Structure 1
Amino acid sequence: MSEMNEQTAFNAEDLNFNDLQLEDFDTDLAASAPAMASMPERDLSFFRKIPVTVTLEVSSTEISLGELMKAGEGTVIELDKLNGEPLDVKVNGSLMGHAEVVVVNEKYGLRLIDVVDSPINSLEH
């Protein structure tokens, strides 16, 4: 029974990395790359129906909780952006680009000025 309780110690000399053919591993990966490239593209049109929230963020600022607690009706809190600067357009909280405010049919709208690089842009039309 005492033989079963003995633990086998790990011996680093038992490892022989020379038997591994690592250079063949790299060529196997390179050989499979063209096969992956020739795979047909998936139809991603179903993504177009997923609803997202588009937000036009005017600006923000950091103030202390004490200052916020003193704020009341008529209090002005100065924001970080200057008048006339493009506003941030966010999609589900992630920056999509910058825009300016416009009025369309008596409703506010936005005119995109620039679109930042994002995964959304890579989806085909």
Structure 2
Amino acid sequence: MTDQSIELSNDLDFNFSGQENEVSASPSVATVAAPIVDNSLHEQQRKISLFSRIPVTLTLEVASVDIPLSELMSVNNDSVIELDKLAGEPLDIKVNGIMFGQAEVVVVNEKYGLRIISFNSQSLGELAL
């Protein structure tokens, strides 16, 4: 630190509202204010705002199956591959490859959509890792 900045830091103290207070030369007992609830709420809203702009990939997984490569190589236009889910079972929703919940397919304005049946909000924390 330069002599000027040391002198400035000794002369002035800034409180949280940005107002400057003079520092007393005599020793005193420091008091600690309780955290303000509004600041923590504001901080949470700020974090949510930052996360809300991050793009994620939402995938609806109908089913999956493990097959030998030899069977895959024999697939042609009329081939049928049996999957591991029964008709009518809820489909898996994945966000960036992480299981997020289950849904059923609906049609909205002639486009496919999802009706959420269940979801695990705790999985959202895994997305940030």
- The interval holding the TM-score normalised by the smaller chain is 0.5 to 0.7
Q: Distance in 2 between matches of 1:113 and 1:119?
A: 16
Q: Which runs of 4+ in 1 moved over 6 A?
A: none
Higher helix share: 1
Equivalent position of 1:78 in the other structure: 82
Which one of 106, 113, 119 corresponds to residue 109 of structure 1? 113
Instruction: Please give the alpha-carbon distance, in whole angstroms, between the structure 2 residues aligned to 1:80 and 1:49.
Output: 36
Using the TM superposition, give the Cα deviation of residue 120 of structure 1 relative to its aligned residue in structure 2, in angstroms: 2.1
Identical residues among aligned pairs (%): 56
- In structure 2, give the amino acid aligned to 1:111: R
In 2, Cα distance between the equivalents of 1:60 and 1:119?
21
Whether the aligned pair in 1 keeps the contact of 2:100 and 2:123 (CA below 8 Å) is no
The amino acid of 1:78's aligned partner reads E
Larger RCO: 1 or 2 (CA < 8 Å, sep 6+): 1
Instruction: Output the amino acid matched with 2:89.
Output: E
Give the counterpart of 1:92 among 78, 96, 101.
Answer: 96
Total equivalences in the alignment: 86
Work out the CA distance in 2 between the residues paired with 1:64 and 1:119. Answer: 32
2:102 is the alignment partner of 1:120: no
CA RMSD of aligned residues (A): 2.2
Aligned 8 A contact 2:99 2:123 in 1: no
